[in-house]
Structure formats: structure tokens, C-alpha cells
Structure 1
Amino acid sequence: MRNRRSHQKVLGAPPTDLSPDALKQWQQVQGSAVSYHRRIAAQVGASHADDVLAKALAKWHGHLRRNGPVKEPRSYFATICNNEGKDHLAAITRLAEQYIEDGDTSLEDEAQRIHIHKSDTAAVENADQAARALKVLKAELSPRELAAWVMFKMYDIDCVTIAKQTQTTPAAVRQTIKRARDKLENPLVQKKLRAWELAPE
């Protein structure tokens, strides 16, 4: 999980540029931040919830600053969160597809707050490993299947969400991930990947 309060680096805590009524609505929404974070995590996955929430709060702040209070702040902000979640997943899908097409595109976009899921290894090593595995998988999987594998492996997105983004079914996504995993676990492929320092000893 990243820092769900990262928007405060820009906006302050609380923002000082809002009218008194707008500030009340900001604080009202902030009081339910945990609930919104849960909703967003259900939509985009826990690995991306902080980034989406930060983008939604920045958009909410901008609206309050420009237009003042709204009629139903909680439902208004829930709509912002939903839209930001959809946009975030669409942007991840585009990055995955571009990465598969040319292999040189970055899997991360700092401006859109899109990051690959970080494990024990550094981001560069993860991206490098993905590139090597893609060389093996391109012969076996369609571009759509490859996109599903990248989204699952690199972005930590669940099969149901990937299915919605790639216009297929969760069962098809699970089958794709299984095919990719089986291919990468093939002893001959493992030997090649070990030569590339990808597979574990």
C-alpha cells in the first residue's frame, strides 16, 4: 500500500484555499476516507487503491475550489472515485498493450500515478524480467492474453477486473494465466530463463 495521504503534499491538511462551506464538505468526505478506500480497492485492487484515492481527492479539491459546495458531497465524491477507478484501469490496460506491442514502453506512468506492483525486487528488475518472459510467451499467447498476463503479474490486478478490461470472462483470464504459468514452468523454458537470470535456481 502506498500513502493514501499523499494528496496532502500538494493540497495541505486540510486545504487552505477552500471557502468555509466547501471546507466542511471536504472534511465530511475525509471523515469517510476509509470507506471510500475500501470501495476503490474492490474496484481496482488493493495495490492501486491509494493512487486512485489520491487522484479522486485531487479532483474533488479542484471542484470545490472552482465551484464551491455540492448538494450531496458523499455521493458526488463516490462518483468521482468510481470514474477515477475506471480511468486508472483503462490507462493500465493501454500501458500493458503498448508494452506488448513494442517492448520498450514503460509499464509505469508517474503523471497518472500508475505503478507496477513491487515485490522484493526493484522495479527495473521486475520490468526486465517481464520483458524476458514476454519473449517466451509471445509464441504461445495472443496479444489480448499477453495483456492479461502483464496486468495480473505486473500490476497485481485480479482476474475478474482483467476480464472486464479485456472484454472476456474471468474463466478465460484464469486459463490464460495458467497457460502462461505452465509455459514458463516448462523445464526447457526454465533452462533458457535461467540463462537470462530470470528463473530461480
Structure 2
Amino acid sequence: MTRPQPTDPDQLAFQQYRTLLFSVAYRLLGSAADAEDVVQDAWLKWSAADRSGVADPRAYLTRIVSNLAMEQLRSTRHRRESYVGPWLPEPVLTGPDAADGAVAADSVSTALLLVLETLSPLERAVFVLKEVFAFSHAEIAQAVDRSEAAVRQTAHRAREHVRARRPRFPADRARRRDVTERFLAAATGGDLNTLMELLSPEVTLWTDGGGKVRQALKPVVGQETVARWFAALGSATYQGVGPDRMRTELTSVNGGPGLVFHGPDRVIATMTFDFDPAGRICAIHNVANPDKLRAVADGTRHRLS
């Protein structure tokens, strides 16, 4: 996408809030490509609007992006319901700044984005604007065209829904990275015993191939089953790429430590993890649908403040 070059005050205002707008759109849509499209559409609306009466460009632009994203959520929900195999959010590479705050990092985690998928578009927008970006109820009411009382009720309902499905555990970045490193070493070395130690008894592996590449169409559940699955990683051919031609990179994906699997000429897959209170891996999210790997393949690191 060609981004507008700031040459006048209105363009400068848009560029000033562009990171915020993408960050809102990505959390609402779970897709970097769709978020970019929404931000571009917001730019077109901003360019065509009479801005003489706009006192707060941040609020005005956030309103545009939120409504565009909610419209898109409503129109794409049926496609996600008919998706082949598990649907996972589109992964993005994140910089160290995305993990500086625990709330910001967790709010782009695969696990939380999946919980947000279970909210209505309105609930999702209200939750993201309130809990992640600390907009006031009054500001959100203007953004989503609802009364402030209705927004308060929606915010409470969405917050309770998320808390019930996404318990918050103390974030220990060093521990999560260490476990991820040990997991990668054990998987590539076929070390079943270490894998068993790193995985929680109820660990679940979700694989998203979207019908484009061969992946498990149902979640793989259980410590031993998942451990055996990954113990074969170092000796198995994956998507036509042998282990001797595959490179695995440990990097920041969606605000936490993740893995990116590279073939000789393409990104093959990404993997992110969720952890239980004991620091063991309780969920693994493996995205291999090539349509969802473009944001990772182009190497862009997103600031999702």
C-alpha cells in the first residue's frame, strides 16, 4: 500500500495517528492485511471530509477506523465460520517496544485475539478502545455512535467475558523466552522427555492451514500426543521442505516470543505460545496458511502501541 506523504497539516495529522489507527484496526480484525485496508480507507475518508470543524483529529480518525472495522467484522464473520480447519489470527512481527507494557503485549497475543473473536463487533470495539487504549466511555460513545450508558454496559459485559475466558497470569518475559528456546531445542533434537516437561498436561495445538496446506483440521490435545508431534519435527519434511533446508528463527511475534519457520524461498509457518501459571506451554498456535504469512514474510515489525 502507498502511504500518504505528509505535505500539509491534515496529512501530518493523519500520519501522527497512523500507528494508533493500525493498532486499533488490527486488534479489531485480527488481520494485518485487513487492518492496512481499513487504515487506507480511513485516509480516503479523512481526505474527502470537511475537517474545518474537527477539533480532535485523534478521536475523529479513531471513530472512522472503528466503524470501518466493525463493518468488516460483520461482513467477514460468516467466512470465518466456514473456514477450513481452525481459524487463527494473522501473525505479525512486533518490536521490543510492543512488549514494554504487559497490557499492550497481551492485547495482541494470539490467545487474546481468539477470545476477542467470540465478542460481537460492538463489544470488541468497546473493549479494545477502553481496556487497551484507555479511551473514556464518553469518547467511545462518540466513536461507536452509542449512548454513554450503553457503552458502560457493553464495556462491563465485554470485560467480564474476556476475564472468564482469558485469565491473567503474571507475565515473566524471561521465563517465556527461556521455555520457548528450550522447546525449539527439544523439538529439533527429538527430545521427547524435555518436551513433556515443558508442556502442560492439557496442552492444545491449533494448526491453521486454511485448506491451502496440509494441517490438522482439529485441535491436537494432550501432553504426550503434542510432545510426540513435535519430537518428529527435526527429522520430518514439512510442506516439502526437509529439516536440512529449514531455518527456524526465534523472534517477537504478537508481543511475545514466537517461532518463524523459513524455507529456502519463503516463510512456511509461525508459532506462538500461551503459558499456564507454572510457566508451562498450555497452547500452541501454528499458522501455515500462506495467505496469512505475508506480513511476516515482508519483515515489517509493527508497533502496536
Q: TM exceeds 0.5?
A: no
Greater relative contact order structure (CA < 8 Å, 6+ sep): 2
TM-score, with normalisation over the residues of structure 2? 0.31
Q: TM-score, normalised by structure 1?
A: 0.43
